[in-house]
Structure 1
Amino acid sequence: MTMPATALDLGRSAFSEHRWSDALESLARADAEGGLPPEDLEVVASVAMLLGKDSEGVAYLTRAHDEYVVLGDMAGAARCAAWLVLYMMDMGEPARSSGWMARARHLVEGLDQPGTAEGYLMIPAALGALYGGQPEASKELFGQALAVGRKFRDRDLTALGQLGLGTAGITLGFTDEGLELLDEVMVSVTAGEVSPIPSGIIYCAVIGSCRLALDVQRAHEWTAALQRWCGDRPDMVMFSGQCQSHRAELFILHGAWDDAMAAARIAQDRSRRGDPEARWGAWYLEGEILRMRGQFDEACVAYAKAAETGFEALPGLALAMVAQHKVAQAQAMLRRALSGSDPANRRRLLPAVVEVELAAGDTPAARAAADEFAAPVGDAGRPLERAIAAQAEAQVLIAESKAADGLLASRKAWRLWYSLEAPYGAATCRVLAGRACSVLGDQASAAMEFEAAQGEFADLGAAPAVADVLRLSGERAGDGASTLTVRELQVLRLVAEGKANKSIARDLYLSEKTVARHVSNILCKLDVPSRVAATKYAFEHHMVS
């Protein structure tokens, strides 16, 4: 006769099948009926954290720690204390995190023999060193944690140690070596050898390191893997916001800005519901989209939200300041940030430094930044870093009055951006090519480059970039009806009637993409920020009746 499954059995089964809500319900019922052993309290704590129920997760893990103490299992108690340190750090409670760190150290010091708890305790200390500007010390601590994990065959600790070593290596500028370590740790994660919370930490950290290393191919591969992992756990909150942030970044690169904004908004919601690590990326990426669309005040609000996490919203905020004609402030901000950054983050800032220094008229400083970024790249570098290096070189060469060389560099950069399916970068390089052709006296080629770039920017909704191209090609924004084409006047009249792009496209027998381009051009030429403002302008200037 088969005995009916108990609540504990059901909870354990649901946990193994990644049904977190069912697992929490059953384990909580088992706890209410007769209590749980500390091992199961650790499980239910993990499930609560995965569901975004931070307070419940901390309460369960605190109980697990206490039960281990009662049973005399100080190694188990120390392990729980170490994880509580990490959870408190994520929850923004440094005092409680410090208290648990002190308790964990006392527990480890009282152990008769060393064990995995000692290694787990190194992880929060290593993270503190990494984010505190001490990557060398961080690397040493992660290495020690890895050694402990391997000695006791603890897969979670081993994976976290490898993750830390790879991340520290990239931060120190040893990009290839660091990425190889991260690939190795991802093998164990994707094989299901690592527990859920360490797995989520590793997924998100690895993708973040790929972004820092400008490795688009790896970022695509691991973001897709993370999306599948999250999709197999549909009720999970923890890590799901970070997944959406990573998707938003790739959407931005590939010109799907509406999709990127939607993903960023989901990430913001998940950050509030229990994935606080998603907050910086969610708000920073919204700021990037708004900046490129010309909504600078709104972008600065989003950047400020990102900065509330303690991490600066750079380089986006500095580029927004340049667009708002605050060049000196942007220059000072980036120079200050460069002076205190580690090698990897310094490299991340250099392309924006080129742009800001050129806007400030300091061509030698821009040249130094471009050369520093390009130094480790070479022909075998990753495509994204090669594209950025070639674009920066083209910008500086044109500023140095070396138009012929600048044209070659801009076309090289365009080919790389195009191969990455990155329309904004590709269009930017067509503008550079047009500028170079214009200086060389080839106005026909310049006009073709500007027209192609204008169309691409208009399709993206990159209003400031469209306005820049119009200025370079001899058209000026803000001249009203005199600068609008016959077709643009037709579109404006339909916009003033309140029609959407789809309806306008049907009335004029155009594609929605073409209508969107016309609308973007109208906003730039009239120097207005929105369709409502364009309608008001049209009525005030008797362009519609």
Structure 2
Amino acid sequence: MTSSAALERGLDAFAEQRWTDAVDALTEADARDGLDADDLERLATAMLLIGRETGLDTATRAHEAFLEAGDEAGAARAAVWIGMYLMQMGELARSAGWLARAERVVRSNSGAESAGGLLLVPQALTALYCGDAPSAFRAFEQALTIGERFHDRDTIALARLGIGELKIRLGEVDAGFALFDEVMVAVTAGELSPVPSGIAYCSVIGVCQLAYDFSRAREWTVALDHWCSDRPDMVMFSGECQMRRAELYRLHGAWPDAVAAARAGLVRARRGDRIAIHGAWYEQGEVRRLRGETDAAEESYHRAAETGIAPEPGLALLRLAQGKAKLAQSLVRDAAAEADPATRRRMLPALIEIELAMRDVAAARRAVDELTAMTPIAWMPMLQAVTDGCEGAVLLEEGDARSALVRLRSSWTLWQELEAPYEAARCRVLVARACLALGDEDSAAMELDAARAVFADLGAAPDLARLDTIARSATNAAFGPLTAREVEVVRLVAAGMTNRAIARELYLSEKTVAHHLSNVFGKLGLASRAAATAYAYEHALV
């Protein structure tokens, strides 16, 4: 095959986003006669997209070829992309060097002015991550102005993404999402280059989840999944796609799938999509914490922290589960104090839970009032579910069980509609506590049984243990160690009913009835239904 034929094949593959084919053909053309600067840049992009870090060397060659051809704008753009890639890889010194080179080219050549907008993007991101929102906002605004002047769609999109994220982090949620939606129109219309497109998908999903906009997050996660699936050889962004899928699986109660997706994300991360490392480890830590796998959760959070990003609030909640409530309080308070408004809002539910565990109801009240005040005008069911649940939990500790019940039932309804079984079950436990405080033991028993079935299906061992504690506290002393529901089951066993008949009588599943009987046998040291029947008569339960 001639060099021109290989080049044509490579350019066709690049246009069709068949990255491996593009790399193979363009590499062949380069080996035969060499590539010009634009085609070297295409080759470098395709190489990096499929996880070949040698693409960085090719990008360097592209930068030098642009300079040699007198295309200072192209040289500056290549230097900026190299700097941004190295920034993502955590190689900050090399990144700073390349960005400084890009700045020198832009300043010394009027023809490179068009690259000045793109150059401002990493500067704005650095300010954003350092907590300097005003400087970040100014830099993004300047980048947008330059991008619009030179009709640079990639720069325009990245600048709008940055401004949108800043607005959302600072509480201007509606304005921020309007900018995000505008960017995503450009992405889905195919107006952007592949790398800015991937950045847009991942940025929008991340901020949607930060802002509790579950509907948008799910919609764009599905879109990102399809985008990655249509490019099966692409490594860059694919790890983050798996990490986002893990978050959704966890929320929907598909915990094994969440772990599998997180592990797949790590595989992709090791092949080049390093930005997914923190999220993939953190998601595994979350599932393991919820299952009561303390050592494994500890390891996962530790690995997440190695990326330089604190694994909060997950680690604080793990410390709470380990009985280290004071340490948990310190961790979550410090993390929330250092966070921007949007990240702080994301941490407030854990802060409230830990403050209540520490019996600092006043601090929990301040936090829930702050959470309520931060709720945007736009209707977001997930955020409302969180807010109602937190408000109900605090009202319950304040002694207003009746008001708590209203908020908790509202929260439960929303979690059910969102198909979030674990959160809904936790809400039912709080509803049961409110019912007990109001003297409604039958309703409390029903709520606890419903929650128990969900926790058992999920494998949420710590929640099952806490539920048993709550159930025991509601037990009449005459029943000994048994809960009120367990006494009902024993009575029906003594009446000669099968598990299926008992399930129909109490409106429970057979699995739940079997679980209750297992608890009864364990608590009383019994081994058969006949022994349970004898116990019922001996202790006047029938």
TM-score (norm 1): 0.87
Q: CA–CA distance in 1 between the matches of 2:32 and 2:522?
A: 70
SS of alignment partner, residue 474 of structure 1: helix
SS of alignment partner, residue 259 of structure 1: helix
Q: Mean alpha-carbon deviation: is it higher for 99-108 or for 25-34? A: 99-108
Q: 1:454 to 1:40 in 2, by over 3 A?
A: same
Q: 1:240 to 1:521 in 2, by over 3 A?
A: farther
Equivalent residue number for residue 295 of structure 2 = 297
Whether 2:259 is the aligned partner of 1:258: answer no
User: How big is the shift at 1:422?
Assistant: 0.8
User: How big is the shift at 1:517?
Assistant: 9.9
Equivalent residue number for residue 35 of structure 1 = 34
SS of alignment partner, residue 258 of structure 2: helix
SS of alignment partner, residue 238 of structure 1: coil
Residues 350-365 of structure 1 correspond to what in structure 2 (within 5 A)?
Answer: 350-365=348-363
Equivalent residue number for residue 531 of structure 1 = none
Contact 2:433 2:444 in 1 (8 A): yes
Whether 2:161 is the aligned partner of 1:177: answer no
Contact 1:407 1:433 in 2 (8 A): yes
Equivalent residue number for residue 367 of structure 1 = 365
User: How big is the shift at 1:91?
Assistant: 1.6
Q: 1:67 to 1:520 in 2, by over 3 A?
A: farther
Equivalent residue number for residue 279 of structure 1 = 277
RMSD: 2.5
Identity, % of aligned positions: 49
User: How big is the shift at 1:376?
Assistant: 3.3
Instruction: Give the residue type in structure 2 aligned to 1:291.
Output: R
User: How big is the shift at 1:518?
Assistant: 6.2
Equivalent residue number for residue 90 of structure 2 = 92
User: How big is the shift at 1:482?
Assistant: 9.6
Q: CA–CA distance in 1 between the matches of 2:451 and 2:137?
A: 45
Deviations 1:399-432 (A, max 9, x none): 1111111111111111111111111111111101
Q: 1:285 to 1:11 in 2, by over 3 A?
A: same
User: How big is the shift at 1:72?
Assistant: 1.8
The number of equivalent residue pairs is 496
Residues 151-166 of structure 1 correspond to what in structure 2 (within 5 A)?
Answer: 151-166=149-164
Q: 1:517 to 1:144 in 2, by over 3 A?
A: farther
Q: CA–CA distance in 1 between the matches of 2:64 and 2:429?
A: 65
Equivalent residue number for residue 204 of structure 1 = 202
Larger Rg: 2
Contact 1:458 1:517 in 2 (8 A): no
Structure 2: 5+ residue stretches without partners: 475-480, 490-508, 528-542
User: How big is the shift at 1:381?
Assistant: 3.0
Q: CA–CA distance in 1 between the matches of 2:137 and 2:255?
A: 37
Q: Mean alpha-carbon deviation: is it higher for 513-522 or for 283-292? A: 513-522
User: How big is the shift at 1:521?
Assistant: 10
SS of alignment partner, residue 107 of structure 1: helix
Residues 24-173 of structure 1 correspond to what in structure 2 (within 5 A)?
Answer: 24-54=23-53, 56-113=54-111, 115-173=113-171
Equivalent residue number for residue 347 of structure 1 = 345
Q: CA–CA distance in 2 between the matches of 1:6 and 1:138?
A: 46
Q: CA–CA distance in 2 between the matches of 1:354 and 1:375?
A: 15
Q: 1:307 to 1:522 in 2, by over 3 A?
A: farther
Q: CA–CA distance in 2 between the matches of 1:275 and 1:385?
A: 30
Q: 1:515 to 1:39 in 2, by over 3 A?
A: farther
Q: CA–CA distance in 1 between the matches of 2:26 and 2:516?
A: 56
Q: CA–CA distance in 2 between the matches of 1:344 and 1:184?
A: 21
Contact 1:467 1:525 in 2 (8 A): no
Q: CA–CA distance in 1 between the matches of 2:169 and 2:258?
A: 27
User: How big is the shift at 1:377?
Assistant: 2.5
Q: CA–CA distance in 2 between the matches of 1:144 and 1:58?
A: 28
Deviations 1:363-397 (A, max 9, x none): 00011111100113278530001000000011101
User: How big is the shift at 1:136?
Assistant: 2.1
Equivalent residue number for residue 391 of structure 2 = 393
Q: Mean alpha-carbon deviation: is it higher for 445-454 or for 104-113? A: 104-113
Equivalent residue number for residue 406 of structure 1 = 404
SS of alignment partner, residue 248 of structure 2: helix
Q: CA–CA distance in 2 between the matches of 1:155 and 1:316?
A: 38
SS of alignment partner, residue 473 of structure 1: helix
User: How big is the shift at 1:147?
Assistant: 1.2
Q: CA–CA distance in 2 between the matches of 1:252 and 1:15?
A: 36
Instruction: Give the residue type in structure 2 aligned to 1:326.
Output: K
Instruction: Give the residue type in structure 2 aligned to 1:43.
Output: R
Deviations 1:496-532 (A, max 9, x none): xxxxxxxxxxxxxxxxx976996899799989xxxxx
Contact 1:463 1:520 in 2 (8 A): no
Instruction: Give the residue type in structure 1 aligned to 2:5.
Output: T
User: How big is the shift at 1:157?
Assistant: 1.1
Equivalent residue number for residue 505 of structure 2 = none
Q: 1:397 to 1:74 in 2, by over 3 A?
A: same
Deviations 1:435-454 (A, max 9, x none): 01111111111111111111
Deviations 1:194-249 (A, max 9, x none): 01111001100000010011001101111111111101101111100101111111
User: How big is the shift at 1:150?
Assistant: 1.0
Q: Mean alpha-carbon deviation: is it higher for 516-525 or for 212-221? A: 516-525
